[in-house]
Chain A
Amino acid sequence: MMKLVAVNGGPRKGKNTDQMLDAFLEGVKAAAPEAEVQVIRLYDYTFTGCRSCFACQLKKNRGDLQCWVRDGITQLLKDAYHADGIVFASPIYYCNVTAQLRAFWERLMYPGVSGRSVPTALIYTSNADEEALRKFMGAPLDINSMYLNACFHAQPEVVTSCNTFQYNDSEVFDDKFRAPAAKWRHHEEQFATDLQNARAAGERMVARISEAAQ
């Protein structure tokens, strides 16, 4: 049975990143109703990034596929190593994914290089609009894809939702930079399409996993 791990690196429940990941998983379920999906919400766990203990790089631990640091995500990392596909979702904080997802990647990728091809997908949500995301953050995000490709032997599929609506209480938040009304209009016009794109990427993920298995 197909096993998919979904890693959510965003802190907010029910907001943009969460909804995009849900849509992706709907696509997975539509294409493979029998697929087992494990959702990992990183902000629910207490963990650190790589501790540079280098135990995973010791010759005697060769091929172990495990992070030797024991904390809240040790078991989750094992689950991810043995998944058939992994999808990562994160808002963009200062030009890259959240620190929580960076920390998870460090612990996943350093011990995790196997010969197996594991399809991955990246869902980015960003306050910046699409052109700004490409212009200012294209390089960092490409580098993330490059490392995931090197580790999992498959080029990640990237799905984005840009110019997202961040908060809706105009009495609490005085946003002089971006007119909230324009943000809301964009949200109304665009977000459903973004969700549809995420759903389609989820369906493609199932096909990519089937291909990788052959």
Chain B
Amino acid sequence: MKVIAVNGSPRRNWNTAKLCRAALEGAAAAGAETELIHLEAMKFKGCMSCYRCHSVREYDTQVCYWQDELTETLKKCVAADAIIIGSPLYYGFATGDVRAFMERLMFPIDTYEINEEGVRPVKLDRVIPTAMIYTMNAGGLPEKNQLSMNENELRRMFGYSESHYAFDTCQFADYSKYRANLFGAEHKARRLEEQFPIEQERCRELGARLVQKARDAQAGLLKREETRLSPEIVEMLRGQK
């Protein structure tokens, strides 16, 4: 049982990294072998649109054809039993680094196909439970936000996905140095002291839960959560309406 957490924050020991570590602690306590990978340590780009992973010749491949420092991590992820992706929120979305990683993680197991039931199949037949952990300065998410997109795509690729949101995080060790009078140093210090341990505990629970989901998947008890598209939507997606 191997659980991988990918820390998409450039900071290796701040909120996102700490929550990734907490999730892995929970997974380890539930009996998993764990590994924390920092995207910040690697040089890589997003998807090159070579479409090689979608070609008939390379159809069985599940790892991005493009070779760079990310390649090893991509291989580890599709071989893992559960994947956790941590990202701070930058301008309402996961970081560019995280998105580059996700483009190259998802497209090689994705297909441009659809079956009779209106399900878009992927190349991965087993379930790899996944979770996103978001940290953000903002106190909440607007009703219309972009983050459900990541969860939905991860669910479609890996069969199971959930998200944890840590709001109103403390960004700076010393607020007096920064242009940040919007937030209030005392409020942020209190959030760090009072709320952050709660977030860590929730992430420990998340890690343990993913291990249980992974065990269920291996025992055949957790089936893919599949979205069936209506014929109208299929027609629309096909651009033939």
Contact = CB atoms under 8 A, between A and B. Distances in A.
Interface of A: 10-12, 15, 43, 46, 48-54, 57-60, 62, 91, 93-96, 98-106, 109-110, 128-129, 131-132, 135, 137, 139-140, 142-144, 146-147, 162-163, 166-167, 171-179, 182-183, 186
B113 A176 contact: yes
Contact of A59 (B88, B102, B171, B177): B177
Contacts of B241: 129, 131
6 contacts: A48-B10, A50-B96, A59-B179, A93-B99, A95-B149, A96-B146
A35 B183 CA distance: 42
A25 B156 CA distance: 38
Contact of B46 (A93, A139, A176, A178): A93
B197 interface: no
A176 B47 CA distance: 22
Contact of A172 (B10, B55, B149): B55
B63 interface: no
B47 A143 contact: no
Given A48-B96, A49-B90, A142-B144, 18 more contacts: A43-B45, A50-B96, A52-B9, A94-B149, A95-B153, A96-B99, A98-B99, A102-B93, A106-B95, A110-B90, A131-B236, A132-B233, A140-B93, A163-B239, A174-B55, A177-B112, A177-B113, A182-B240
A94 B106 contact: yes
B43 A99 contact: no
B234 to A, nearest CB: 9
Which 3 pairs show the lowest CB-CB distances between chains A and B? A103-B96, A49-B96, A99-B100
B219 interface: no
B113 A143 contact: no
Contact of A174 (B56, B101, B240): B56
B97 A49 contact: yes
Contacts of B111: 177
Contacts of B97: 48-49, 99, 103
A143 B145 contact: yes
Nearest to A140: B146
Nearest to A105: B91
Given A94-B153, A98-B46, A106 B178 contact: no
Contacts of B96: 48-50, 99-106
Majority secondary structure, B binding face: loop
B237 interface: yes
A103 B149 contact: no
Contacts of B48: 11, 43
Contacts of A53: 10
Nearest to B152: A95
B49 A176 contact: no
Contacts of A186: 239
A130 to B, nearest CB: 9
B11 interface: yes
A203 B166 CA distance: 44
Nearest to B56: A174
Nearest to B55: A172
Given A49-B96, A54-B171, A132-B236, A106 B55 contact: no
Nearest to B120: A177
A96 B92 CA distance: 11
A114 to B, nearest CB: 14
Contacts of A12: 49
B178 A172 contact: no
B201 interface: no
B43 A51 contact: no
A93 B101 CA distance: 12
Contacts of A51: 10, 40
